Amino acid sequence: MTNVSEDMKRATGVQKRPGSTSWHWGIKAPSDLKHLYAGQWAHRCSLETADLRLANSRATALRAEWVKRFDQQREAKEASQRPLPSVKLSPALIKEACDLMYARMLESDESQRLEGLSAQQMENQALALGIEKAKLRDANASGSSTPVDNVLPAWLRWLHWEVSEADPLYRVLVRELVKTRLKARRRTYERLRLTHRANPNSLVHAALSKICRHVWTGMERSSL
C-alpha cells in the first residue's frame, strides 16, 4: 500500500516519534484531572501504521474513547463529593477493588514508560523501587497496611465506598490491596525488561537490570 503523503492534515494528537516509521498518538490529561495521572499524558500509544489516513482514523476513534473516559472521571469526581454509601465488604467486592487497582496501576506505569525514561532516570528510580518492593513484600508477609495507608482512603472514595474499619473483612481488603500493588509492580518491570532485552549493551538495559534486581530479589519468597 502506498503511504499517504505526510502533507495530509494530521488528526489531533497524531505525531511521529524519532526512529519510528509508525504514527503515534497521545492525549494529555485535562487540567482538572491531572491528579489522576502519573505524568502530563493521560495516554500515548503507537497507531501501528505508517499510513497517515489510517492513523488519523484510529486516532479519531481513540480520542472519542478518551473524551468519554474523561467525562466519566469528572462524573466520578462529582459523585465523590456526595455522601458515600456505606458498603459491607464481600469477597466479590474485594476482588472488584483489586482488579480496578491493578488495571489503573499498569495504565499509569505504561503511560510513564511511553513518555520515555533515560537510563539515568531509571537509575535514580531503582533505589526507590527497591524500597517500595521490600515494604510491599514485608507487608504481604505480615499483613501490615502501611504501604496502602495513604492510598486506601482516596481509593475507597474513587470506588464511591464508605467502609468501616470494624467490617470483618476490612483487614482482608487491605491485605489483598497490598498483594495487588506488589503484583502490579512485578508485572510492570517484567514488561520493561522484555522491551529492552534486545539490546543488552545499552544503558537502558543496564538500568533496567538494576531495577529488576531490586524488584525481583526475594520475590520468590513472597506468597502472591
Does pLDDT of 68 surpass 80?
Answer: yes
pLDDT band at 6 (very low <50, low <70, confident <90, very high): low
Our measurement of the distance from residue 53's CA atom to the centroid of its chain's CA atoms, rounded to an integer in Å, reads 30
Number of Cβ atoms within 10 Å of the Cβ of 71: 10
Q: What is the distance between the alpha carbons of residues 13 and 26, in angstroms, rounded to a whole number?
A: 5
Shortest CA distance to 212 belongs to which of 183, 190, 187, 179?
A: 190
* Predicted pLDDT of residue 215: 46
Domain boundaries, the chain: 1-82, 83-224
pLDDT, tens digit (0-9, with 9 covering 90-100), for 117-142: 555 555 555 555 566 667 777 777 77
Does pLDDT of 116 surpass 70?
Answer: no
* Predicted pLDDT of residue 219: 41
* Predicted pLDDT of residue 141: 77
Q: What is the distance between the alpha carbons of residues 49 and 114, in angstroms, rounded to a whole number?
A: 17
pLDDT, tens digit (0-9, with 9 covering 90-100), for 21-62: 999 999 999 999 988 888 899 999 999 999 999 999 999 999
> DSSP labels for 86-98?
B----HHHHHHHH
User: Between 164 and 113, whose confidence is greater?
Assistant: 164
Is there a contact between 108 and 37 (Cβ–Cβ < 8 Å)? Answer: yes
Does pLDDT of 4 surpass 90?
Answer: no
Q: What is the mean pLDDT of the chain?
A: 76
Report CA-CA distances (Å) from 103 to 64, 98, 166.
Answer: 21, 9, 28
User: Between 35 and 13, whose confidence is greater?
Assistant: 13
Q: Highest mean pLDDT: which of 67-76, 149-158, 194-203?
A: 67-76
Going 78 to 80 to 83 to 88, the CA torsion angle's sign is positive
Alpha-carbon dihedral of residues 180, 185, 191, 193, nearest 10 degrees? -150
* Predicted pLDDT of residue 95: 93
User: Between 131 and 78, whose confidence is greater?
Assistant: 78
Place of cell 520468590: 220
Q: What is the distance between the alpha carbons of residues 37 and 107, in angstroms, rounded to a whole number?
A: 9
What Rg, from alpha-carbon coordinates, does the chain have?
20
Whether the model pTM is above 0.75: no
131-157 mean pLDDT: 75
Number of Cβ atoms within 10 Å of the Cβ of 218: 12
Does pLDDT of 143 surpass 80?
Answer: no
Lowest mean pLDDT among 59-63, 171-175, 180-184, 214-218: 214-218
Place of cell 497496611: 145
Number of Cβ atoms within 10 Å of the Cβ of 116: 11
Q: In what order do the strands lie in the sheet with 41-46?
A: 14-16, 23-28, 41-46
Q: Under the phi-then-psi rule, with left for phi > 0, alpha for psi from -120 to 50, and beta for the rest, what region is 140?
A: alpha
* Predicted pLDDT of residue 1: 44
Place of cell 474513587: 158
158-170 mean pLDDT: 84
Does pLDDT of 64 surpass 90?
Answer: yes
Q: What is the distance between the alpha carbons of residues 218 and 199, in angstroms, rounded to a whole number?
A: 26
